[in-house]
Structure 1
Amino acid sequence: MEIFAEYLARIDNPQHRARTEEVLSWVSEKFPNLMPVMKWNQPMFTDHGTFIIGFSVAKHHLAVAPERAGIIHFSDEIVQAGYHHSQQLLRLPWDRPIDFSLLERMIEYNILDKADCSTFWRK
């Protein structure tokens, strides 16, 4: 997690910093084969050089970016979990528990769906 230390240190709100660190640590522990990287000033995880999931901090939520395909695939589950999403990201409100099982399924989906992907982003 050392790669994310500077990013985490820049999060002013201690609760937001702790929540972000919790999620990043969870991904690292749950998916040890994923590579933690910083790109475009945001923490991300890759697999064989291809993007799997990224995160960013906003005022009211932690944004989770599984690419558009991940949002489309899980749109109904995202709504059923009580979260909002755009075409590119899922918003995890700071004041609500995280549905780690949904996050796990999204990551697993991207790992499987991009197993043969040779580019960073889907084409």
Structure 2
Amino acid sequence: MVVINTFSDFLAKIDNVNHRERTEAILDWILKTFPNLKPEIKWNQPMFTDHGTYIIGFSTAKKHLAVAPEEVTIAKFSDQIKNSGYSHTKGLFRIGWEQEVDYKLLEEIIKFNIEDKLDTTTFWR
């Protein structure tokens, strides 16, 4: 795995080794799959931006990794999120630490946000 300098401090604070490795693997996958995205830490959370606009962010909890792609995107992908076995709120969905990561879904969500926000000049929608 590529060492993610931007996220090193965040990852070091995840006490559970399995959770840290899994989070790092997902962040690393995004860096490799979408090299045009800028990795950043804002509000003490890892996220990716494109031309200064938010694309996707993450946070860790005891039982899951929370994925926050914004409400519009959650609404659009609600059925696919449920079909992947993840629960969600209006603003995020949860990948349980014991669940498989649906990388195809993550890729579709990220691609949608990049395309949908091409002309966005603000951080949030």
Q: TM range, normalised to the smaller chain? A: over 0.9
Scaled by the length of structure 1, the TM-score of the pair is 0.98
1:42 is aligned to 45
1:69 counterpart = 2:72: yes
1:121 counterpart = 2:124: yes
Structure 1 residues 21-56: Cα deviation after superposition (integer angstroms, max 9, x where no partner) = 000000000000000000000000000000000000
2:9 is aligned to 6
Cα displacement (A) at 1:96: 1.0
**Count of residues in correspondence between the two structures:** 122
Q: Which runs of 4+ in 1 moved over 4 A?
A: none
Cα displacement (A) at 1:8: 0.1
2:18 is aligned to 15
Q: SS of the counterpart of 2:56?
A: strand
1:110 counterpart = 2:110: no
* Structure-1 separation of matches of 2:11 and 2:83: 30
Aligned-partner residue type, residue 43 of structure 1: P
Cα displacement (A) at 1:120: 0.1
Percent identity (aligned): 57
Cα displacement (A) at 1:81: 1.1
Scaled by the length of structure 2, the TM-score of the pair is 0.97
Aligned-partner residue type, residue 91 of structure 2: Q
* Structure-1 separation of matches of 2:45 and 2:14: 12
Aligned-partner residue type, residue 75 of structure 1: S
* Structure-2 separation of matches of 1:5 and 1:80: 32
Q: SS of the counterpart of 1:26?
A: helix
1:79 counterpart = 2:98: no
Unmatched 5+ stretches in structure 1: none
